[in-house]
């Protein structure tokens, strides 16, 4: 198992990789994401010989690129999406387990201006 942290900007679409190993579709057995969030636990899965499964029902989805990389897509990441994402991928020659803790952050909004104060010019900065 591999453990890692990811820090993502709030409001962006996030793509989480399960593994850096490229797996051909014909070699895949299944990809399973177990997701533990603040207010719910759910799973999203795809298997070669079965229908896709999604108990999250919140816009998250699995994506497979043409070259065999499997991603979990999280659209419009919000604080509700923070949590633990456990990926289990199984293929003909092995398997991979990855545990990703995902945190959101917001970029500060920075502004600045000049003010006159007692016959002096003062630079003021503000971050929100």
- Given pLDDT bands bounded at 50, 70 and 90, which one contains residue 26? confident
**Comparing C-alpha atoms, which of 7, 36, 28, 16 is closest to residue 98?**
16
Q: What is the CATH number of the domain that holds 12?
A: 2.60.40.10
- Given pLDDT bands bounded at 50, 70 and 90, which one contains residue 70? confident
pLDDT in tens, 40-51: 999 999 887 788
d(CA 62, CA 110): 36
Which is it for strands 94-105 and 2-9: parallel, antiparallel or unpaired?
Answer: parallel
Predicted confidence at residue 11, as pLDDT, reads: 95
Q: Residue 83: is its pLDDT beyond 70?
A: yes
86/108: higher pLDDT: 86
- Given pLDDT bands bounded at 50, 70 and 90, which one contains residue 99? very high
CB 8 within 8 A of CB 106: no
- Given pLDDT bands bounded at 50, 70 and 90, which one contains residue 20? low
Domains held by the chain: number: 1
**Comparing C-alpha atoms, which of 48, 111, 102 is closest to residue 73?**
102
Predicted confidence at residue 27, as pLDDT, reads: 81
Q: Which are the contacts of 65, defined by CB distance < 8 A and separation ≥ 6?
A: 71
Site of tokens 């502004």:
111
Instruction: Show the domain range for 123.
Output: 2-127
């Amino acid at each position: 198992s591999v453990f890692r942290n990811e820090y993502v900007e709030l409001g962006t679409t996030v793509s989480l990789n399960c593994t850096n190993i490229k797996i051909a579709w014909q070699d895949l057995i299944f990809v399973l994401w177990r997701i533990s969030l603040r207010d719910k636990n759910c799973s999203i899965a795809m298997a070669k010989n079965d229908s896709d499964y999604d108990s999250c029902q919140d816009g998250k989805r699995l994506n497979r690129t043409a070259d065999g990389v499997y991603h979990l897509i999280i659209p419009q990441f919000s604080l509700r999406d923070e949590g633990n994402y456990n990926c289990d991928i199984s293929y003909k020659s092995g398997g991979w387990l990855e545990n990703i803790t995902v945190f959101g952050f917001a970029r500060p909004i920075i502004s600045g201006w000049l003010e006159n104060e007692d016959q002096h010019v003062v630079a003021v900065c503000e971050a929100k």
